[in-house]
Structure 1
Amino acid sequence: MIDERQTVLVIEEEIIIRVAIAGDFQDGGFNGLEAGNSGEALAHLARDASIRALRTQYGVVSK
């Protein structure tokens, strides 16, 4: 079965907030991926061409 849901990458340092937001996206019918910093986000973007939107915090830490 092919998953046709759109993928959103949630970039947030605080794990509780990140998990909650990704869960909200999943509840809304999206694939919610998570990254805790810019390095993780870039890794997701490099390997997953299905990401269609980003939700990020202002001033995310670079690691």
Structure 2
Amino acid sequence: MSQRPGHCPQCDVYLHYDSDDTNDDMIYYYASCPKCGWNGIEAYRLEFAEFLDSDFNPLED
């Protein structure tokens, strides 16, 4: 079984995404495969990186 983000774990075709959800430090993407019909969730662990200003510039020390 393949474990590549954005690809079906059954047949490796690009997934279609339906919706997403967050829970604490995780984000979940509900996905389906247009080729084999697999339905499931692609999950990511969120981790704090840094603070940015409103123009997306890193804050200086």
Instruction: Please give the range of the TM-score, normalised by the shorter of the 2 chains.
Output: under 0.3
Taking structure 2 as the reference length, what is the TM-score of the superposition? Answer: 0.23
Which structure exhibits the higher relative contact order, with contacts defined as CA atoms closer than 8 Å and separated by 6 or more residues?
Answer: 1
Q: Compare CA radii of gyration and give the structure with the larger one.
A: 2
Taking structure 1 as the reference length, what is the TM-score of the superposition? Answer: 0.23
